[in-house]
Structure 1
């Protein structure tokens, strides 16, 4: 268990550092697969001002196959994350942003978000079940 906690903490730190270093992107973390990892993510929730959850409509099954792009009002991409989810937490400067979340099967959802100093935003993205191909 101790090794997993260190591994998870290291993974979170690398994600955050990588995000902050790459093109001055805001700090973010993503994860929450499994009960232990979800608990660790939720413990860090107060440290972020935009918190996103990705799931399947109807079943509530979490999704961790999401491409997330966050752009400012000028169209500049502030965050670009692949295979995000089921939880993703981001620290954004105050302002207006467009969040585009694309599931692995191509379903796209967009949200406009106004970030205010000292306030938090929770965004929920629910997708339909992926289409089943009958042969």
Structure 2
């Protein structure tokens, strides 16, 4: 009986079903909170992860997506800096996937996204009535990058 358990455990491990590998998407996310008490979530690598993020989407009023123009290739490890109308940083994070959602109070924000030395900036106003989305396109060439 003990040998049967060991064989089953080895088979599960080799097939990748026993435990998710480090960085492997499990489809479940936890809301995180920034130093300034802004709730956010980031992810979206792989189909299961994108589906999980889409289910959480309605809970957030700011929804950012990061991609390459043309190919639409999704990007991760984008540095996101969000400043309020006074210029104070309300959130500074590095994304864990192409989707980044945040809960922010009404107001106007300056969203700065940086990837591979390219910085893109957008001003986004949240009214509290309707969520806002923005896509940041980072090209391989600085001339093609656009927000």
Superposed pair shares fold, TM > 0.5 = yes
What TM bracket, shorter-length normalisation? Answer: 0.7 to 0.9
Q: CA separation in 2, counterparts of 1:65 and 1:123? A: 17
Higher-RCO chain (CA-CA 8 Å, sequence separation at least 6): 1
Instruction: Tell whether the 8 Å contact from 1:71 to 1:97 is kept in structure 2 after alignment.
Output: yes
Pairwise mapping of residues 53-64 of structure 1 onto structure 2 (< 5 A)?
A: 53-64=65-76
- Counterpart position of 2:131: 120
Q: CA separation in 2, counterparts of 1:29 and 1:119? A: 19
How far residue 94 of structure 1 moved from its aligned partner, in angstroms, is 0.1
- Counterpart position of 2:105: 93
Instruction: Tell whether the 8 Å contact from 1:53 to 1:87 is kept in structure 2 after alignment.
Output: yes
5+ residue gaps, structure 2: 1-16, 143-147
Higher helix share: 1
- Counterpart position of 1:52: 64
Q: Please point out which of 39, 42, 47 is paired with 2:51.
A: 39
Greater Cα radius of gyration, structure 1 or 2: 2
In the comparison of the two structures, how many residue pairs are matched?
121
| Segments ≥4 residues shifted beyond 4 Å | none
- Counterpart position of 2:77: 65
How far residue 8 of structure 1 moved from its aligned partner, in angstroms, is 4.4
Q: Secondary structure at the match of 1:38?
A: helix
How far residue 23 of structure 1 moved from its aligned partner, in angstroms, is 3.0
Q: Please point out which of 119, 122, 132 is paired with 1:111.
A: 122
CA 1:38/1:96 → structure 2, altered by over 3 Å: closer, same or farther?
same
